[in-house]
Amino acid sequence: MQVKSNIGIVNALIRITIGLTILAWSTSKLVKRPWRDSYLVMAMLGGMKVAEGIVRFCPLTALFERGQDMVQEKRGNHVNNDEAAEEILPFNPS
């Protein structure tokens, strides 16, 4: 699997900033109440956001783009060759 960056630099910087903020908040809360599992989950989510920003790859964005490609491909298979030049527009009753 080849991982290509699918988010921009500004988006990556925002993810790093928010991820570090969540990570700092959750670790400070985890020190005060170590028996709470929710702070540990938040620390993991913050760490994932930092990693997404550093690598500049978001798996959810990749999944969404792949789904959009599959929809476009499926639309292309249902259209006949004669109708391929026409654009498929949704029905608008108004």
Residue 88 lies in a domain: no
> What pLDDT is stored for residue 89 in this prediction?
66
Residue 85 lies in a domain: no
> What pLDDT is stored for residue 87 in this prediction?
61
Residue 75, token pair as written in the block: 């639309």
Q: What are the pLDDT tens digits along the chain (94 aa)?
A: 677 888 999 999 999 999 999 999 999 999 999 999 999 999 999 999 999 999 999 999 989 988 998 888 888 776 554 454 456 667 777 6
Residue 1 lies in a domain: no
Sign of CA dihedral 34, 36, 42, 44: positive
Residue 84 lies in a domain: no
Its domain, for residue 60, covers 9-77
pTM of the predicted model over 0.95: no
Closest CA to 53 of 20, 10, 12: 12
- How many domains are contained in the chain? 1
